[in-house]
């Protein structure tokens, strides 16, 4: 990793923290290879309990990229927001890319949420993620708060308590909001499928 790229990454991170979501466009391709590498590294480590937390994953990736001290986030909540948006971008991009490259006619075995050997998920998982993204975009326009919550919950895999503290909400509200957001998204996705 050359110094210039490091500076770039740091700048994008700062941009993102400053509220510029577009910074992710640049950030994701730079960090993605490291993310995979880190994920693999995690598996070899004995302490890991088997479930890979996106927060830990992204954190490690940045540390690997920029070094321990170079990674600075304003606070924990900012970091969570980054992880959620980042993972969302990574997964959805991957799903879209994979879907585009897999447009062939032969009846492949389709697995819902299938783990592909190399990259992306099975077709149906891709569809699921892409549909979710569309619905989530829509939710963002009518209800940004709950959309944020979904992002944190779904993509950063944060627990309700963490979300409550990150979004400064009561635990009950988080639970309520999550119930509603889920139903709303499910309905939206189902309706999109029907059309």
Partner 1 sequence: MSELSHEKLAGEFALLCELTEADRADRLANLLVSDPSLGKELSALFAHADKAPLLDKASVIITQKIMAPGEEWRPGQKVGDFTLGPRLGGGAFGTVFLAQQTSLGRRVALKITPNIGREGQTLAPLDHPHIVRIFSEGRCESGNRLLCLQYIPGVSLEQLLKAFPHGPERTTDLIEYLENSLPGGEPATLLASRLGERAAFSALSLCGVLHTWTEQIASALAYAHDRGVLHLDVKPGNIIIDHYGKAWLSDFNVSLQSLADANELKLNMFGGTDFYMAPEHREAMKTGTPTAFAALSSATDVYSLAKVMDETAEQWTAKRKKWDAVPCRVGTYVDDPKDRPTAAQWAVEARNALKLAEAVQASGTLPLNDWIERDLRSAAVLAVLIPQIIGALVNLVYNGSQIVDWLDDSQREVFKQLCLFYNPVCFALGTYFLFPRMAPVFDSLPRSAADARELRRTALSFPNRAFTIPCLLWVGSFVVFPFGIHFFSSPLPELATYLHFLLSFLFSALVSGTYSYLFSGLVIFRFLYPRLWWGTESISTTAPLELKCVEQRLRIFCWSAGAIPIMGAALFLFLSRPDDGHTLYRWLTLILMSVGVLGFGVAIRIQNYLEKFLQRLTSRS
| Residue ranges binding partner 1 (CB under 8 A) | 39-40, 42-46, 48-54, 57, 91, 107, 109-115, 117, 121-122, 124-125, 128-129, 132, 142-143, 146, 150, 153-155, 157, 176-177, 179-180, 182-187, 190, 193
In the complex, what is the shortest distance from the CB of residue 43 to partner 1, in angstroms, rounded to a whole number?
5
Q: Between residues 73 and 178, which has the closer beta carbon with respect to partner 1?
A: 178
Place of tokens 């998204």: 185
> How far is residue 45 CA from its own chain's centroid?
23
Place of tokens 């937390």: 53
In the complex, what is the shortest distance from the CB of residue 24 to partner 1, in angstroms, rounded to a whole number?
18
Q: At what angle do helices 171-194 and 160-167 cross, to 10 degrees?
A: 100
Q: Between residues 4 and 109, which has the closer beta carbon with respect to partner 1?
A: 109
In the complex, what is the shortest distance from the CB of residue 15 to partner 1, in angstroms, rounded to a whole number?
25
Instruction: Give the Cα separation of 12 and 47 in Å (integer).
Output: 32
In the complex, what is the shortest distance from the CB of residue 38 to partner 1, in angstroms, rounded to a whole number?
10
In the complex, what is the shortest distance from the CB of residue 76 to partner 1, in angstroms, rounded to a whole number?
20
In the complex, what is the shortest distance from the CB of residue 7 to partner 1, in angstroms, rounded to a whole number?
28
Q: Between residues 4 and 51, which has the closer beta carbon with respect to partner 1?
A: 51
Could you tell me the two tokens for 6? 């490091």
Q: Between residues 6 and 145, which has the closer beta carbon with respect to partner 1?
A: 145
Q: Between residues 14 and 134, which has the closer beta carbon with respect to partner 1?
A: 134
Q: At what angle do helices 76-101 and 3-17 cross, to 10 degrees?
A: 110
Q: Between residues 76 and 187, which has the closer beta carbon with respect to partner 1?
A: 187
In terms of Cα–Cα distance, which of 95, 100, 157, 104 is closest to 128? 95
Contact 123, 102 (CB under 8 A): yes
HSE at residue 51, side-chain half, CA atoms within 13 A, is: 5
In terms of Cα–Cα distance, which of 190, 192, 189 is closest to 132? 189
């Amino acid at each position: 990793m050359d110094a210039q790229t490091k500076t770039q990454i740091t700048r994008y991170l700062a941009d993102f923290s400053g509220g510029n979501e577009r910074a992710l466009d640049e950030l994701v391709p730079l960090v993605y290879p490291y993310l995979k590498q880190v994920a693999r590294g995690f598996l070899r480590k004995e302490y890991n309990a088997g479930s890979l937390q996106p927060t830990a994953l992204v954190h490690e990736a940045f540390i690997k990229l920029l070094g321990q001290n170079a990674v600075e986030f304003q606070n924990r909540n900012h970091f969570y927001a980054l992880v959620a948006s980042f993972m969302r971008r990574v997964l959805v991009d991957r799903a879209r890319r994979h879907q585009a490259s897999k447009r062939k006619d032969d009846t492949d075995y389709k697995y819902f949420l299938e783990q592909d050997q190399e990259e992306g998920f099975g077709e149906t998982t891709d569809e699921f993620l892409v549909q979710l993204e569309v619905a989530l975009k829509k939710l963002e326009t009518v209800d940004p708060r709950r959309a944020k919550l979904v992002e944190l919950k779904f993509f950063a895999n944060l627990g309700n308590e963490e979300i409550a503290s990150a979004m400064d909400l009561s635990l009950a509200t988080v639970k309520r909001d999550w119930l509603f957001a889920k139903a709303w998204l499910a309905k939206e996705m189902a309706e999109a499928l029907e059309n």
